[in-house]
Amino acid sequence: MSVVEPFDVGWLDVGEGHRLYYEQSGNPAGIPAVMLHGGPGDGSRPGNRRLFDPETCRLIMFDQRGAGRSTPAAGLRANTTQHLLSDIECLREYLGVKRWLVSGGSWGSFLAMVYAIARPDSVLGLVLRGVVLGGADQVDWWFNGREIMFPEAHERMRTYVPPDEQDDLLRAYYRRLADEDPEVHVPAALRLREFMLPMTRLVPADGAGGVGDPAHALRIGRLWTHYCVNRFFMPDNHILDNIAVLRLLPAVIVQGRYDMVTPFRAAYRLSQAWPQAQLVAVHEGGHSADDPAITAALQYAHNHMVSVLRRSAQSQ
């Protein structure tokens, strides 16, 4: 599926100094769908438009606080999960959407579920990819557990900080990334991004060894560690404790069997608690939506959800 161009691009002032970039593409009369990007701090990507049928969907993408083209870049002030939930509602109301399909990948899956729990009347259904439940076990995996699969990469990440800080790598990196001095935060951001990036795809693309833009590395590294340190600004086990709300919504869970960022266990636990949701196990997929098998599964999931929602609307 080709990448279509937006029919609307704009900025939304959500207060406290934050301005969000947003765009709309596809069919203005189609089923509204909002895509919540990962990270935190990653930002929306033009390529994600190909995951939705432009004939049937009115796709809305935006960059969360501090991410992508939103300003201030990598800003931590007034940047919590509660702020992001408020922003989603503010954007929905601003664009005149009554209810929408919510699609979220990685961190975006967590945000999508938390939003649906808080505002179920605003949600038509959910598509989730690379499930994050927000538990301490996932954070430990990100900073420690992956050593079993990537020992050389983990050693480079770990030995960047002094030995007396290596027992808490999350806080060691967060201190550096939150520092206002570029000589402190830029090298730390690049080293952390170097560790993270090769793990996102099952088979890395040619030339994928570089860490890319230092500004992007800072946005994703600073915001990611900020949310991890603060336990995602949500009570522990919030999603599974409120699963009864999610069970009322149609959903598809797309999960790569060989996902090294958000391992399969979280998606399986979620599906066991939420049997109404369809779990699509992608046996040739890792974490990234750019893995060809994950791309195909997400296109299926969005098309399936649109069909379900259309049938539901016709029966009412």
Q: Which residues are catalytic?
A: 106, 259, 287
- The partner residues of 278 in beta bridges, in order of sequence, read 252
- The partner residues of 59 in beta bridges, in order of sequence, read 25, 33
Q: Which residue has the tokens 């899956």?
A: 109
CA-to-CA separations, 60 to 19, 66, 172, in angstroms, rounded: 16, 18, 36
Q: What strands lie across the sheet with 31-36, from one edge to the other?
A: 8-15, 18-26, 57-62, 31-36, 100-105, 123-129, 251-256, 278-282
- The greatest distance separating any two alpha carbons of the chain, rounded to the nearest whole angstrom, comes to 63
CA-to-CA separations, 188 to 77, 138, 184, 216, 281, in angstroms, rounded: 20, 21, 7, 13, 35
